[in-house]
Amino acid sequence: MAETGTLNMIQALNDALDQYMERDEDAVILGEDVGHFGGVFRVTNGLQEKYGSERVFDTPLAEAGIVGMAIGMGLAGLRPIVEIQFADFIFPAFDQIVNELAKYRYRSGGQYAPRVLIRTPYGGGIRGGHYHSQSPEVYFAHTPGLRVVVPSGPYEAKGLLLGALECADPVIFLEPKRIYRAARGEIPLDYYTLPLERARVVRKGEDITLVAWGAMLHTCQEAAALAEGEGYDVELIDLQSLAPYDLRSLVRSVERTGRMVVVHEAPMTCGFGAELVAAVQAAAFDCLKAPLQRVTGFDTPFPYTLEDHYLPSAERITRELARTIEY
């Protein structure tokens, strides 16, 4: 039996980075405050001390420079791991990510494929207002050439991060900061990877398929429990990878349940739920018993004082589950 330990998500991510740095001499970590300080959320804690300040280092405060420099390092054969302090601050680097990193392999006919992984804490529920709460996943999921991966707990965080680091593609690794410390679990201390782009069935059920990722998965677990009290049997799926995404698993589930609700924090219009609903209805149209629905943040900027109203709550999700089942 392999050794296990009880870790929260931050510790699991730190462990993954540590083990990867140990294995791959080309791996380099860069970002704001990631060095001596170990990151504002402590994910890179102790790594500079262990691997030196040439492999784990603080940068000037400029996201476009961080990602642009990482691309150059990747072209030279290094394996840069970037931390963008908050996903809300990733936009100065948008051009470098969308026009350079995402397209490099394609536009060079495969001559160059810089392996850059960008980790960034995202999502609400921490009283962070507009600029420490957003969920920017669709901007990246909409860009061919990027992978978008979102863990929902410590086991997934470590396994998916190591899987993403072994992968040759550029990855946007979105870390749900609300559950950084709250999500704890017993996980293997050894090196292990989880496959990217595979959805995970968290809970089996027969009446409806509920899909979420990141912190919303935990809210959905509460909702599924509440729904169970009302007599509804919910199948809960953790999507884990948004680009590419595991349509087959969703379709297989909906073919059985005939119903689906997608939950995300980002605004509804053009959110990733729209993609899932469109793809699932096309693939499973004959099996549907009710319209496919979304429970999401509203089409407003992310609020401060009223964030509990903005974020999908277990009650709101449960109401939608009941409405859809009773349709």
Partner 1 sequence: MTQPPFQILGEDGSCPDSHRGLLSDDQIEKTLDAMVLNRILDRRLLMLQRQGRLGFWMTSHGEEATIFGVAASLEPEDPIFLSYRELGCLLWREIPLPLIFNQLIGNSRDLCLGRQMPIHYCYREWSIPSVSSPVGTQLPHAAGFGYAARLRGTGRVALAFCGEGTASEGDFHTALNFAGVFSSSSIFVIRNNGYAISTPESVQTAAESLAVRAEGYGIAGYQVDGNDLLAVVNVMREARARAAAGEGPTLIEAMTYRMGAHSTADDPSAYRTEEEEAAWNRLDPYERLKRHARWRGLWDEEAEAAAQAGWEERVVATLAECERHPPPRVETLFEGVLETVSPQLEAQRDAYLADLRRSSTTDIEVP
**Active-site residue list:** 132
Which of 51/155 has CB closer to partner 1? 51
Q: State the number of binding residues for partner 1 (CB under 8 A).
A: 50
Measure the CA–CA gap between 30 and 140, rounded to whole angstroms. Answer: 21
CB of 99 to partner 1, least distance (A): 5
Q: Is 69 in the site for partner 1 (CB under 8 A)?
A: yes
Q: Looking at 20, 86, 104, 140, which residue binds partner 1 (CB under 8 A)?
A: 104
Measure the CA–CA gap between 147 and 290, rounded to whole angstroms. Answer: 31
Determine the interface stretch with partner 1 among 117-125, 165-173, 257-265, 299-307 (rule: CB under 8 A). 165-173
Which strand ranges, in their side-by-side order, compose the sheet holding 147-149?
A: 56-58, 27-31, 79-83, 117-122, 171-176, 147-149, 241-243
Residues 203 to 262 in contact with partner 1, rule: CB under 8 A: 243-248
Measure the CA–CA gap between 196 and 176, rounded to whole angstroms. Answer: 17
CB of 102 to partner 1, least distance (A): 9
Measure the CA–CA gap between 302 and 76, rounded to whole angstroms. Answer: 39
Determine the interface stretch with partner 1 among 73-81, 215-223, 251-259, 284-292 (rule: CB under 8 A). 73-81
CB of 130 to partner 1, least distance (A): 22
Which of 111/305 has CB closer to partner 1? 111
Residues 256 to 315 in contact with partner 1, rule: CB under 8 A: none
Q: What stretch of H or E contains 80?
A: strand 79-83
CB of 145 to partner 1, least distance (A): 5
Q: Looking at 1, 2, 54, 229, which residue binds partner 1 (CB under 8 A)?
A: 54
* Residue 327 neighbours by CB distance under 10 Å: 10
Pull the structure tokens for residue 123: 């999502």
Measure the CA–CA gap between 204 and 213, rounded to whole angstroms. Answer: 16
CB of 161 to partner 1, least distance (A): 18
Which of 207/275 has CB closer to partner 1? 275
Q: Is 160 in the site for partner 1 (CB under 8 A)?
A: no
Q: Is 100 in the site for partner 1 (CB under 8 A)?
A: yes
CB of 110 to partner 1, least distance (A): 5
Measure the CA–CA gap between 101 and 318, rounded to whole angstroms. Answer: 40
Q: Looking at 144, 204, 270, 291, which residue binds partner 1 (CB under 8 A)?
A: 144
Query: How far is residue 42 CA from its own chain's centroid?
Result: 18
* Helices of type H across the chain: 9-23, 47-51, 63-75, 94-95, 104-107, 137-141, 154-166, 216-229, 247-257, 272-284, 307-310, 314-325
Q: Is 60 in the site for partner 1 (CB under 8 A)?
A: yes
Q: Is 32 in the site for partner 1 (CB under 8 A)?
A: no
Strands (E), 164-259: 171-176, 184-188, 200-203, 208-212, 234-238, 241-243
Q: Which residues bind partner 1 (CB under 8 A)?
A: 28, 54, 57, 59-60, 62, 64-65, 67-78, 80, 92, 95-96, 99-100, 103-113, 144-145, 147, 167-169, 197, 243-248
